[in-house]
């Protein structure tokens, strides 16, 4: 079932990824206070089936067993996130030793099993109190992030292999504040762009805080960089739409973080929405911190064209329909749906897009190593009579995408690892438990874990490459 030729450079890290709210459960235990996702998921109608993360995969209580499963698969790294409201209830003031202890034990458990910890400080579970004071549209949220980052860095210290400030700030800003399909569910384009800036600022402040504690730490940020092609490469209109999406989706983050400036076309394109006066003197210097690694999450590609105002139109590029557009100010976009295999999320399966993204990003930022920090697929799994999950589509997805990473490396991209999304079936945000991304099945009635065929394939690839 495996391709023994899939061998990767020495030191390449094969791992799997999860996020705190999606797996931990135990939302009221040991001093944790609500995050925006607790509030959002408990608001009827926000999440499919009104599911919530109260129990999720119960990882908070099963952490050691889950690490044992990682060991069984031969994982070399594990990317997890830290729940801010567990470590610092309410997002300001006193820290919660019990919350810190949980992550400290997780890190020790990983190291005891030769698994390198890749820690993300923010994977969307903002303390609700900070949202009540304006959330990411409020500059104070970015400032509050620094002491939290410092405290986590001080406690977990050099036991963490890679530090990641933010996961996919594109989603936090645009899905949280423009289309409203993610927590906190707000729908104001100007707030979304303010959120973009304050997330960038939080990133810069957190990098400074981590470096102050741990001068030799490996620091990074993870983005869901978009690969968007024009429907008609000869159409000026379509090319212009792609340029605008690229500005909002990619350059709004990479511009200030890697080059110290917001793209001029982004500011011009969004002038009717905001004057960007939330960018204050000195902010760009703060955001523009040297990075040791760039995390790239990849699932799919999209095709965009300028909407003619008449034909049927798709505004949703796979994140859930909303009356409000995630792409602030691009009111004339139409996402074309090409034929081809799609996952249960409706996302086109396109491994070549991953090669393109890695090669292009690596070439644009020489000297900055990349890591695939998420890649994977939701499919409708079935449990056979013998208890096995023969998830052939996911097996193919993983194999072809690993091949795509290998192709990118062969084409010159500097890619240091692959963290498969996801270790476990989990709470898939607005889609609740309906969408399963795990290579390990979770039976939500019993919390029993079952290795799917994709987990076995992945273990074989890791063994063959080692």
| Contacts to ligand FCB from residues 249-308, by CB under 6 A | 297
| Shortest distance (Å) from residue 297 CB to ligand FCB | 6
Report yes or no: 222 and 296 within 8 Å, Cβ to Cβ: yes
Contact map string, positions 374 to 403, toward ligand FCB, x by CB under 6 A: x-----------------------------
Does position 429 interact with ligand FCB (CB under 6 A)? The reply is yes
How many CA atoms lie less than 13 Å away from 430 in the CB half-sphere? 19
Q: Looking up tokens 């690969």, which residue turns up?
A: 227
Q: Report the distance separating Cα 186 and Cα 254, nearest Å.
A: 24
Q: Report the distance separating Cα 122 and Cα 388, nearest Å.
A: 34
Contact map string, positions 171 to 210, toward ligand FCB, x by CB under 6 A: x---------------------------------------
Give the C-alpha distances (Å, rounded to integers) separating 128 from 35, 86, 164, 276.
5, 12, 22, 25
Among residues 13, 16, 19, 293, which is the contact residue for ligand FCB, using CB under 6 A? 19
Among residues 102, 418, 421, 433, which is the contact residue for ligand FCB, using CB under 6 A? 421
Backbone dihedral angles phi then psi of residue 361, each to the nearest 5 degrees: -70, -40
The total number of residues written for the chain in this structure: 466
| Shortest distance (Å) from residue 120 CB to ligand FCB | 9
| Shortest distance (Å) from residue 429 CB to ligand FCB | 5
Chain-centre distance of CA 114, in angstroms?
Answer: 24
Report yes or no: 421 and 297 within 8 Å, Cβ to Cβ: yes
The nearer residue to ligand FCB, 81 or 355, going by C-beta atoms, is 81
| Shortest distance (Å) from residue 218 CB to ligand FCB | 20
* 387 Cβ neighbours under 8 A, 6+ residues apart: 450
| Shortest distance (Å) from residue 341 CB to ligand FCB | 17
Does position 170 interact with ligand FCB (CB under 6 A)? The reply is no
Give the C-alpha distances (Å, rounded to integers) separating 179 from 8, 274, 282, 325, 428.
39, 17, 30, 5, 17
Among residues 33, 167, 419, 454, which is the contact residue for ligand FCB, using CB under 6 A? 167
Contact map string, positions 25 to 64, toward ligand FCB, x by CB under 6 A: ----------------------------------------
Catalytic residues: 168, 374
| Contacts to ligand FCB from residues 303-362, by CB under 6 A | none
Backbone dihedral angles phi then psi of residue 223, each to the nearest 5 degrees: -120, 150
| Shortest distance (Å) from residue 313 CB to ligand FCB | 24
- Per CB under 6 A, residues contacting ligand FCB are 19, 22, 167-168, 171, 224, 297, 374, 421, 428-429, 437
């Amino acid at each position: 079932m495996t391709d023994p030729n899939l061998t990767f450079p020495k030191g390449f890290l094969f791992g799997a990824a999860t996020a705190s709210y999606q797996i931990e459960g135990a939302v009221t235990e040991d001093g944790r206070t609500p995050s925006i996702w607790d509030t959002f998921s408990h608001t009827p109608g926000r999440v499919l089936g009104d599911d919530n993360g109260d129990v999720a995969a119960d990882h908070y209580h099963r952490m050691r067993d889950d690490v044992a499963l990682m060991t069984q698969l031969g994982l070399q790294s594990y990317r997890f996130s830290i729940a801010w409201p567990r470590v610092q209830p309410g997002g300001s003031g006193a820290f919660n030793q019990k919350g810190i202890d949980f992550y400290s034990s997780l890190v020790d458990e990983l190291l005891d099993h030769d698994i390198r910890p890749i820690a993300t400080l923010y994977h969307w579970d903002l303390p609700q109190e900070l949202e009540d004071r304006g959330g990411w549209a409020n500059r104070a949220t970015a400032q509050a992030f620094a002491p939290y980052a410092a405290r986590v860095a001080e406690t977990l210290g050099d036991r963490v292999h890679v530090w990641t400030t933010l996961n996919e700030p594109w989603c936090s800003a645009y899905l949280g504040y423009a289309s409203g399909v993610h927590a906190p569910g707000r729908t104001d384009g100007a707030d979304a762009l303010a959120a973009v800036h304050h997330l960038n600022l939080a990133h810069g402040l957190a990098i400074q805080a981590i470096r102050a504690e741990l001068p030799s730490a490996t620091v990074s940020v993870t983005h869901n960089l978009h690969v968007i092609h024009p429907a008609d490469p000869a159409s000026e209109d379509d090319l212009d739409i792609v340029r605008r999406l690229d500005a909002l989706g990619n350059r709004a983050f990479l511009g200030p973080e890697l080059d110290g400036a917001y793209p001029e076309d982004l500011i011009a394109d969004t002038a009717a929405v905001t004057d960007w006066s939330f960018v204050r003197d000195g902010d760009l210097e703060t955001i523009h911190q040297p990075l040791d690694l760039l995390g790239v999450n990849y699932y799919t590609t999209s095709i965009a064209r300028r909407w003619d105002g008449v034909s049927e139109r798709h505004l949703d590029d796979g994140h859930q329909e909303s009356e409000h557009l995630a792409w602030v100010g691009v009111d004339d976009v139409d996402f074309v749906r090409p034929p081809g295999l799609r996952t249960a999320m409706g996302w086109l399966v396109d491994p070549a897009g991953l090669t393109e993204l890695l090669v292009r990003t690596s070439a644009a930022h020489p000297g900055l190593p990349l890591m695939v920090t998420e890649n994977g697929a939701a499919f409708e799994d079935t449990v056979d009579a013998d208890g096995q999950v023969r998830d052939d589509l996911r097996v193919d997805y993983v194999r072809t995408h690993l091949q795509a990473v290998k192709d990118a490396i062969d084409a010159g991209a500097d890619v240091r690892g692959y963290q498969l999304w996801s270790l476990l079936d989990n709470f898939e945000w607005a889609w609740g438990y309906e969408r399963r991304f795990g290579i390990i099945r979770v039976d939500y009635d019993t919390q029993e874990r079952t290795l799917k065929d994709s987990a076995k394939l992945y273990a074989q690839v890791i063994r063959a490459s080692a």
